[in-house]
Chain A
């Protein structure tokens, strides 16, 4: 077997093992963390596409997350649709919004993009609080009906885990194919040297827009699934905590590395829980670990591995 094929087999094996988690544990606590890990990892991977690969720091992810959550919840609770339709709607709506924000903003500089996306996220947060007729304001929408498929109800944490797991596998699979294609390479090229990209006959705009729209759709659908895990959605769903979580995963994993961010996504979801043994110092230890990680590996975990590889290569070429 070639190494490529062995790696593919290993990835499928790990994916299936993760899918079998509800048979390996009955603990709702662990399964709940696993749902968060799956959803946060996907959202971090989506942020990695626009920030890590394309080099555009988007705070709009928080807005897409929130809109995705509300779109799915409202489809089910207010407009009488089902969960899956809500998810589809969340994806499409967010992709459309990303194109709408991206088209004028991406013509300007990277800094403008950061500010506009941040403003967008804050605006969405305001709307969820103040458009009471639609969102029910600070009270939120509680008792979200669990999703069902062909008569099977995903009504326990163990069952709901499969929804999160299936979505994570699909979304990560798609992102992997995208990032490892020439499209992914072009995004990296745009981040590194946009004038050169243009000199090579490639128009950067469609690539940036597509990356932003895909990232928005995936984050929105992740938000849609996550609020049904919480069974409630209110303006706190737009807490900056979520954005910060995705961003930490991308930075610790290594912006622009697919596997780095996936591994960091899982590790950073588990870490705060592992640290529960010392309740008093939990957040302090978590902060210290983050700080040390950043000091030792400023390019994230993947960046650190990469630096080591580069210095070996330099040494080999000098001989």
Chain B
């Protein structure tokens, strides 16, 4: 196993409050890694620091073989890390096609002069991007909306558009910030299936999420944060039986969890 993303001793504090307090973990290539924890445990700050949306006070982040510590967000994206946002972000006034092709434009050969002069290189890049956009829109099941503006979609559908856009440049890793928060249960199943299919095709994911069932179904490896520190990590099954995790995250003792499991069975 090779680590696609290495996070080492990441620290970030806001006026004395340690939001992230020495977090280290790896995201293995070709696997889905989950990052969970109660509200305020530092999940969002952690991925903001990884993706360059906030500057970590110290620590190291390595993507593949590239040290991306402290780089600007757009540089980290160019290095191959694409992210989505907790509150869904799409371009409401652009078509789904444009929402996707714009996410790939920084990664092709066309320069701004090609764009203004509409050279063959520009058309080639644009055609390739459009082809990929169509494939991804088909994959997430929004084919009939391809030419429509993203603004007319439901919240859950926008989450799918954001996911498809993140996949456009064939990134090394996709970081999803709460991909199913605020999404209705049928749509959650749909997103789950899409992610499984993508992962089967070799995509690497790091997912921050509150929905424990979603994480349990999807993730090969789960990292649990609490109060800015890593509390535990392991497979979903390991995490479910970890006393500290149950205490911090679910507010339950192992006995209560066991009773609940029995009740569910």
Contact = CB atoms under 8 A, between A and B. Distances in A.
Contacts of B126: 182
A177 B98 CA distance: 17
B115 interface: yes
Contact of B102 (A186, A198, A310): A186
A94 to B, nearest CB: 20
A192 B94 contact: yes
A102 to B, nearest CB: 17
A178 B106 contact: no
Given A188-B93, A189-B94, A313-B148, A199 B73 contact: yes
Contacts, number: 89
Interface stretch (A25-33, A140-148, A200-208, A216-224): A200-208
Interface stretch (B11-19, B77-85, B247-255): B77-85
Interface in B135-169: 144-145, 148-149, 151-152, 165-166, 169
17 contacts: A177-B118, A178-B116, A181-B115, A188-B94, A189-B91, A189-B94, A196-B89, A198-B73, A199-B73, A200-B82, A200-B106, A201-B78, A201-B107, A202-B102, A203-B74, A317-B145, A317-B152
Contacts of B128: none
B92 A181 contact: no
Nearest to A186: B102
Interface in B143-199: 144-145, 148-149, 151-152, 165-166, 169
Interface residues of A, number: 24
Nearest to A194: B89
Nearest to B79: A201
Given A181-B116, A199-B51, A199-B77, A310 B152 contact: yes
Interface of B: 51, 53, 72-75, 77-78, 82-85, 89-94, 98, 102-103, 105-107, 110, 112, 115-116, 118, 122, 126, 144-145, 148-149, 151-152, 165-166, 169
Nearest to B150: A192
Nearest to B106: A201
Contact of A182 (B84, B115, B145, B148): B115
What is the interface of chain B mostly: helix, strand, loop, or mixed?
helix
Contact of A188 (B51, B75, B89, B91): B91
A278 interface: no
What is the interface of chain A mostly: helix, strand, loop, or mixed?
helix
B144 A203 contact: no
A313 B77 contact: no
Contacts of A317: 144-145, 148, 152
A201 B152 contact: no
A310 B92 CA distance: 12
A3 interface: no
Given A178-B116, A185-B102, A189-B102, A201 B169 contact: yes
Contacts of B94: 185, 188-189, 192
A183 B145 CA distance: 24
A195 interface: yes
A308 interface: no
Contacts of A188: 91, 93-94
Contacts of A2: none
Contacts of B90: 193, 196
A314 interface: yes
A192 B91 contact: yes
Nearest to A181: B115
A212 to B, nearest CB: 16
Contacts of A199: 51, 53, 73-74, 77, 82-85, 89, 166
Contact of A310 (B51, B72, B149): B149
